Amino acid sequence: MKKFAFSLLLALLFCALFAVPAFAADFTATVNGAANTKLASNTSFIYRTDVKAGSTIEIKSQTEIDSIYVVWYKVPGEWTLNGTQTINDGFLQELVKLDQPSATVTMNVKDASGICYIRAFGKDETIPDNIIKWEAPKEKVDVMVFSTHADDETLFLGGAMADIIAHYPDASIQLVYMTNHIGLEPFRENERLEALKVYGIKTYPIVGFTADAYAMDTLEAGLKVCDYDKILADFVDIINKYKPQVIITQDFKGEYGHAQHIVMTKAVTEAVEKCAADGTWDVPKTYVHLYKDSGAIELDLRQPLEAYGGKTALDIAKEAYLKHESQQRWWFYVSDDYKYSCDEFGLWRTTVPADTGKDMMENIKTYAVQEKEEAERKAAEEAAKKDEKVPSKDKARPTTGVSATPFIIIGSVFGVLLLIFLYLVATAKKRSQRRARKRAAERRAANTRQRYQPKHGNRKN
C-alpha cells in the first residue's frame, strides 16, 4: 500500500511538472563580465541593478531565447540587442522579440540606468498575461484621463475607465499624469503600469515633468510646488495633438484637498477652454470628478461586465489599486459610496447634447467608428462612379444584342423626311396661290393682245 501511495505521489508530481507551462527560460547573466543573479531572480520594483553608461549585459541560456522582457528602474536611453536591434521607445517595461533566436543575448546600454529584473522566453514558451508589449499613444484619442499622481487614476477615475473600456472596446484610452515619481519613489512608475494592465490598457501613459510634492488645501500652496505655466502649455499641446473627444479629470477641490490635484484640474479645464478659443481643438465633453454645478452623473459601477469576465467596474478598480503596493499603507481606498466616490462626476463643459443616462460616451462616435463610416462612404462613392462609367453604356444597347446604330440612322432619316413633308404641306397653299395669280396674269395678257389685233387681214401694196 505504501509503495502504491508513493508511486501515485510521484505520478502526480510528474503530471504537475509537465502540466504547468514554464514561466521563463532559465539563464545566467553578467554585467560587464561580473556575474549577477538579481537580474534573473528579483521580482521587486524597489530593488535594482545599477548599470553604468556603456555597460554590457550578457544573458546565456541552455535553450534558445526568442524574446526578453526588461523592467527598468528608470526610463532608459537608447540600448541595443545583439548589436543589431536598437531600442529607444522610452518605456519602463519592454518586451522585445529577437531578430534571430539565440542562446546568448547581449545588451549594450548607452546611458547610465538601472534594471529591476529581466525575463527570457523561448520560442514555444507562453508569455504570461501580465507581461505585455506597450504601445505608443494613438494619433487620435477617444478618452483622455488626466491624473495627478500614480494611483489617482484608480482611486478616483478607475471605475469610469473600466466602465468605458467594457462598453466601448474600440475606444482608445490615453492616460496623462501631471507628476512623476522619479526623484523620491521611482518604484511607483512601474506600479502605475501594473495598475493600467488590470484595465486592459496597452497604450503607454504620458508622464509629466512635475515632481510629486506634498501641499494641501489651496491653489496657492500648489502653485509653490508646480510650474503652472509649463503645465498649462503642456496640456494645451497634448490636447491639440491627440484631439480627445472625452476628457476625465479630478476634483476642483483636490478631492481630500491635495494642492497638486487642484493645480492639475485648473490647468486641464483652462487648457480645454484655451484650445476652444484658439480654434485648434474643441473637446466635445469634459468631465470633472465630484462636480455638481452642471451635468451631474452617477455611474453604475456594480453591473457585471462581460468584458471583465463578470467582474464589475468597481471590482476592476479595486484590483488595480492593489498594484500600487507602496500606497497600501495609507487610508485611501476605492469605493462608490463614500466622500470621494469614484462614480460621481459632472459634465463641466460640452459641445454635444447633455447626457440623458449614465454613459460618458453618449452622443460620441469613437474614432474607429468614424473611420469605418468614412471608409464605407468612400467605397459607396467609388462604386457609384463605376456604375456611371461602365453600366451606362450597356443600358444604351438593346437587350437583344442587336446593334442600335441602324435604328438610330433610320430614325434620323425618317425624322428628316417628316420635317420635309410638314414643310411642303405648310407651303402648298402659297404655291397654289402663286400659280393661280400666274394663270390670271397670263389670261389678262392674252385678252389684251386679242383686243388690239386688226380685224382685217394684211393688205398688199
Residue boundaries of the structural domains of the chain: 20-121, 143-371
Rounded distance between C-alpha atoms, residue 375 and residue 387, angstroms: 18
5 vs 249 pLDDT, higher one: 249
Rounded distance between C-alpha atoms, residue 281 and residue 348, angstroms: 17
Evaluate if residue 457 carries a pLDDT over 60: no
How many C-beta neighbours within 10 Å does residue 363 have? 15
**CATH code for 20-121?**
2.60.120.260
**At residue 230, what is the residue type?**
K
Q: Which three cell numbers stand for residue 16?
A: 504537475
Report the pLDDT value the prediction gives residue 294, as an integer from 0 to 100: 87
Evaluate if residue 116 carries a pLDDT over 60: yes
Distances in Å between the Cα of 77 and the Cα atoms of 54, 72, 112, 189, 377 are 11, 11, 8, 16, 44
Question: Is the dihedral angle over the CA atoms 178, 180, 184, 187 positive or is it negative?
Answer: positive
Rounded distance between C-alpha atoms, residue 90 and residue 204, angstroms: 10
143-371 falls under which CATH superfamily? LmbE-like (3.40.50.10320)
Query: Are 71 and 116 a contacting pair, CB within 8 Å?
Result: yes
Distances in Å between the Cα of 33 and the Cα atoms of 56, 82, 395 are 8, 16, 81
Q: Which three cell numbers stand for residue 166?
A: 467594457
Confidence band, pLDDT 50/70/90 cuts, at residue 454: low
Q: Which residue blocks in 295-404 are alpha helix, DSSP H?
A: 313-322, 367-389, 391-396
- pLDDT, tens only, 121-153: 998 899 999 999 999 999 999 999 999 999 999
Which has the closest alpha carbon to 71: 115, 130, 131?
115
How many C-beta neighbours within 10 Å does residue 236 have? 19
Query: Are 76 and 102 a contacting pair, CB within 8 Å?
Result: no
Q: Tell me, yes or no, if the two domains 20-121 and 143-371 fold the same way.
A: no
Q: What is the mean pLDDT of residues 448-453?
A: 58
Rounded distance between C-alpha atoms, residue 299 and residue 296, angstroms: 10
Which one-letter DSSP state was computed for residue 244?
-
Q: Which phi and psi angles does 114 have, rounded to 5°?
A: -145, 145
Report the pLDDT value the prediction gives residue 435, as an integer from 0 to 100: 76
- Among the residue ranges 105-109, 221-225, 247-251, 431-435, the one predicted with the least confidence is 431-435
- pLDDT, tens only, 395-446: 555 544 445 555 667 777 777 787 777 777 777 777 777 777 777 767 776 6
Please report, for the chain, how many H helices and E strands are present, in that order.
12, 15
For residue 82, with 0-12 CB atoms within 10 Å meaning exposed, 13-18 middle and 19 or more buried, which class applies?
middle
- pLDDT, tens only, 251-291: 999 999 999 999 999 999 999 999 999 999 999 999 999 99
